């Protein structure tokens, strides 16, 4: 006879609790993200393609499903369901909203639903901070520039300074002068950025930055001139579709997952289409973490992360464990009702 199994309780973790569990823990969360990258690189994960729900009458909007399974000590399955509606910004609410479902590996039952826009931004920022640390080598850049000034840019800045980066100058560029000014005000209130400069062009910002962070909603490349990168900055290409293929072909290219990045008309995907091969890719972040790849310091280095569902699971399970540890986990009574096969 098979071993008796019990359906788990079902918890709901709202955004306020997510924020409390993550706030001020940049180092711990970045370590969790690094562990997830290592597990993924070792094959101890399942991370199928993301599924895009698009709308013929709303071409700018989309909802994405990211199913995943992560092994190791995390040991959890799950799904992130995240929407992107750019029009929200002008209406005064964030572009993205999301939930994360965590599933028990033994029974398959979901045991938690977490507000996940914060988790998604956090795992993106932790990934960027980790890449900045491991790809910068012996050089420690002191000038950072942000192209795009939304929530993701704010979280990346927070994770860079929260994991020990110190900048003498922070550059800002956004197509919206209002958003650029608001981001500058945020940076000045934060007080950990040195001098802040709002640039009137992407070219000016790129040429004056040692680290360039792309955090836009661009759907097609808008940066095309390779000479802007002649000083060989480290590029955190988080938004994935900003750079023309020619810029990637003139750089060292690191991705988080080859198959994921080479699809959906990302800049790496366009470079593959242009060249007919993948020779321009030098490796993955896991290759760097495991010492299989040395990153040269005399070339532009571009990190293009597609954003893996296993990272959401790692951060989501961290939040769940923290909330549980504090004794503040709120469960829903009788969420699972039909638990007897024949009533």
pLDDT, tens digit (0-9, with 9 covering 90-100), for 137-151: 777 889 999 999 999
pLDDT of residue 35: 98
Q: How far apart are CA 336 and CA 10, in angstroms?
A: 8
Q: Which CATH class is domain 124-304?
A: alpha beta
All residues at 6 or more sequence positions from 133 whose CB lies less than 8 Å from its CB, including other chains: 163
In the chain, where does the domain assigned CATH 3.40.50.720 lie? 124-304
Q: How far apart are CA 46 and CA 294, in angstroms?
A: 27
User: Over 80: is that where the pLDDT of 199 sits?
Assistant: yes
Average pLDDT (42-62) is: 95
Helix (H) / strand (E) element for 318: namely helix 309-325
pLDDT of residue 173: 98
pLDDT of residue 338: 82
Average pLDDT (98-123) is: 96
Q: How far apart are CA 293 and CA 203, in angstroms?
A: 30
Q: How far apart are CA 37 and CA 42, in angstroms?
A: 9
Closest by Cα among 32, 56, 64 to 306: 64
Q: How far apart are CA 193 and CA 213, in angstroms?
A: 15
pLDDT of residue 252: 98
In the chain, where does the domain assigned CATH 3.30.1780.10 lie? 11-119+309-325
Average pLDDT (19-33) is: 97
Q: What is the pLDDT of residues 293-313, one digit of tens each?
A: 999 989 999 999 999 999 999
Q: Token digits for 123?
A: 């795992």
Q: What is the pLDDT of residues 170-184, one digit of tens each?
A: 999 999 999 999 999
pLDDT-derived band at 339, boundaries 50, 70, 90: confident
Name the CATH superfamily housing domain 11-119+309-325: ornithine cyclodeaminase, domain 1 (3.30.1780.10)
Q: What is the pLDDT of residues 87-106, one digit of tens each?
A: 998 898 988 999 999 999 99
Q: What is the pLDDT of residues 248-301, one digit of tens each?
A: 999 999 999 999 999 989 999 999 999 999 999 999 999 999 999 999 989 999
Contact between 279 and 254 under an 8 Å Cβ cutoff? The reply is no
From start to end of the chain, where are the E strands?
11-13, 45-46, 51-55, 58-70, 76-84, 96-103, 110-115, 143-147, 169-173, 195-198, 211-214, 234-237, 252-255, 281-284, 301-304
Q: What pTM, to 2 d.p., does this model score?
A: 0.93
Query: Any idea which residue has 């989309």 for tokens?
Result: 62
Closest by Cα among 338, 249, 313 to 77: 313
- Residue 68: strand pairing partners: 78
Average pLDDT (65-89) is: 96
Average pLDDT (42-47) is: 97
């Amino acid at each position: 006879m098979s071993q008796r199994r019990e359906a788990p309780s079902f918890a709901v973790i709202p955004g306020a609790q997510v924020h409390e569990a993550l706030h001020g823990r940049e180092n711990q969360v970045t370590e969790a993200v690094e562990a997830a990258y290592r597990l993924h690189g070792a094959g101890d994960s399942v991370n199928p393609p993301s599924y895009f729900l698009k709308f013929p009458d709303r071409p700018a909007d989309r909802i994405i499903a990211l199913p995943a399974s992560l092994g190791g000590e995390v040991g959890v399955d799950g799904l992130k369901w995240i929407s992107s509606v750019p029009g929200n910004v002008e209406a005064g609410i964030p572009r993205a909203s999301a939930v994360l479902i965590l599933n028990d590996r033994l029974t398959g039952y979901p045991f938690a639903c977490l507000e996940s826009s914060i988790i998604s931004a956090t795992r993106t920022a932790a990934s960027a901070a980790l890449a900045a640390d491991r790809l910068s080598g012996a050089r420690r850049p002191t000038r950072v520039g942000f192209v795009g000034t939304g929530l993701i840019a704010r979280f990346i800045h927070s994770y860079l300074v929260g994991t020990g980066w110190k900048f003498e100058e922070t550059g800002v560029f956004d197509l919206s002068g209002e958003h650029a000014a608001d981001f500058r005000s945020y940076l000045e209130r934060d007080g950990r950025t040195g001098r802040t400069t709002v640039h009137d062009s992407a070219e000016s910002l790129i040429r004056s930055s040692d680290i360039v962070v792309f955090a836009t909603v661009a759907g097609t490349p808008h940066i095309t001139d390779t000479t802007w990168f002649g000083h060989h900055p480290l590029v955190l290409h988080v938004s994935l579709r900003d750079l023309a293929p020619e810029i990637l072909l003139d750089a060292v290219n690191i991705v988080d997952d080859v198959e994921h990045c080479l699809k959906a008309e990302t800049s790496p995907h366009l470079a593959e289409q242009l060249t007919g091969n993948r020779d321009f890719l030098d490796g993955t972040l896991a290759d760097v973490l495991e010492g299989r790849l040395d990153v040269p310091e005399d070339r532009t280095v571009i990190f293009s992360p597609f954003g893996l569902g296993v990272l959401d699971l790692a951060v989501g399970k961290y939040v769940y464990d923290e909330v549980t540890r504090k004794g503040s986990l709120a469960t829903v009574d009788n969420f699972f009702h039909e638990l007897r096969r024949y009533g």
